[in-house]
Amino acid sequence: MSGTLGESGPFGVAFDRGAFDRMGGARGVRRLAAKVAILGLLAALAATGCSKKKPAAEEEPGGGISGSEFKTGDAGRGGEGGEPERVRELATIYFDYDSSEIRSDARTTLKANAQAIQAHTEWKLVTIEGHCDERGSEEYNLALGERRANTTKRYLSDLGVPAARMKTVSFGSAQPAVQGHDESAWRWNRRVDFRVSR
């Protein structure tokens, strides 16, 4: 054997030099340590990544789990006294840069949205959410989002939707629809979204 037990290694710990050499020296020890670290990480992820299934009493009809962010069929009726929800009948409208003026393409969309709101009397309140792209200060974008939401509310009111069934909120640039730092993303973030409370 090339080494004897009792040689002093790193940190004054005795080790068998022959075993050290058979593992490939320091490089082999590092590989082994890396493998052990990866296995430990995988074990930790497996232990924390597995969640328990909720009891059957908490499941909603239709197979959904209550509190899910995914709304499917009638399981999404959480709008009753809960958070406002998106509905496919109300389409998003988009704005030009630094503008709160309703575009001509948005007028057709808003007419259809107004008809849907008037037809769905179970929608107690429609929240009109103003959004902006990332350019501009936080304060400016919050104000611009508010102007976009208020302009949209006035337009819907002029189309016959009762103002009492609508409220506005601005998110500024805090909730982009598309991530990105150019016009291909910004054009989708200058918008008004609609949510309903039942």
Local confidence band at 38 (pLDDT 50, 70, 90 cut-offs): confident
Same domain (yes/no): 138, 191:
yes
pLDDT of residue 125: 97
Q: pLDDT for 146-182, tens place per residue? A: 999 999 999 999 999 999 999 999 999 999 999 999 9
Same domain (yes/no): 102, 174:
yes
Whether the per-residue pLDDT at 47 is higher than 90: the answer is no
Asked whether residue 133 is domain-assigned, the answer is yes
Domain limits for position 20: 7-49
Local confidence band at 53 (pLDDT 50, 70, 90 cut-offs): very low
Q: pLDDT for 134-147, tens place per residue? A: 999 999 999 999 99
Asked whether residue 154 is domain-assigned, the answer is yes
For residues 127 and 192, the answer to whether their CB atoms sit within 8 Å is: no
Same domain (yes/no): 97, 174:
yes
Same domain (yes/no): 170, 89:
yes
pLDDT of residue 54: 41
CATH number at residue 180: 3.30.1330.60
Q: How far is C-alpha 127 from the geometric centre of its chain's CA atoms?
A: 19
Q: How far is C-alpha 86 from the geometric centre of its chain's CA atoms?
A: 14
Strand boundaries in 10-165, DSSP class E: 14-15, 93-94, 125-131
Asked whether residue 100 is domain-assigned, the answer is yes
* pTM over the 0.75 mark: no
Whether the per-residue pLDDT at 5 is higher than 70: the answer is no
What is the DSSP code (8-state) at residue 102?
A: P
Whether the per-residue pLDDT at 21 is higher than 50: the answer is yes
Q: How many domains does the chain have?
A: 2
Asked whether residue 74 is domain-assigned, the answer is no
Local confidence band at 35 (pLDDT 50, 70, 90 cut-offs): confident
Whether the per-residue pLDDT at 48 is higher than 90: the answer is no
For residues 188 and 94, the answer to whether their CB atoms sit within 8 Å is: yes
Asked whether residue 70 is domain-assigned, the answer is no
Give the separation between CA 141 and CA 133, rounded to whole angstroms: 8
Burial of 190 (C-beta count, 10 Å sphere; 0-12/13-18/19+): buried
Give the separation between CA 104 and CA 155, rounded to whole angstroms: 12
Asked whether residue 75 is domain-assigned, the answer is no
Give the separation between CA 160 and CA 29, rounded to whole angstroms: 76
Asked whether residue 153 is domain-assigned, the answer is yes
**Cα end-to-end distance, the chain, whole Å:** 81
Asked whether residue 88 is domain-assigned, the answer is yes
